[in-house]
Amino acid sequence: MFGNMKNMMDQFQGIQGLMKDENFKGFISHPKIQELFKDPEFKEIAKTKDFSKIMSNPKFAALMRDPEIAALMMKINPQGLMKKSG
């Protein structure tokens, strides 16, 4: 039970870190990404905030093969997301 809570808190901290990352903001505001977020099926997956589900979604995976989108994704700083308080 507490393992699930810890996982949820870790994901929440990761999302907080993402929202502060200028590269993530550039990625998420790209028109192709915005178009994906209009898709009802993907919107439901995004609501879960489960990065593994988001990354494995076929429509998201197809966008990751787009060189422009992939370049934006590569600029996001994963180290900043892994910092833990305390």
3-class secondary-structure state, position 60 = helix
pLDDT digits (tens, 9 = 90+) for 61-79: 999 899 999 898 888 866 5
- What is the pLDDT at residue 16? 61
Cβ atoms of 72 and 26 closer than 8 Å: yes
- Its pTM stands at 0.62
Cα 42 from Cα 63, distance rounded (Å) = 13
pLDDT digits (tens, 9 = 90+) for 2-34: 555 555 555 555 566 666 778 888 888 999 999
pLDDT band at 82 (very low <50, low <70, confident <90, very high): very low
- What is the pLDDT at residue 2? 55
Q: 38-42 — which CB contacts under 8 Å span 24+ positions?
A: none
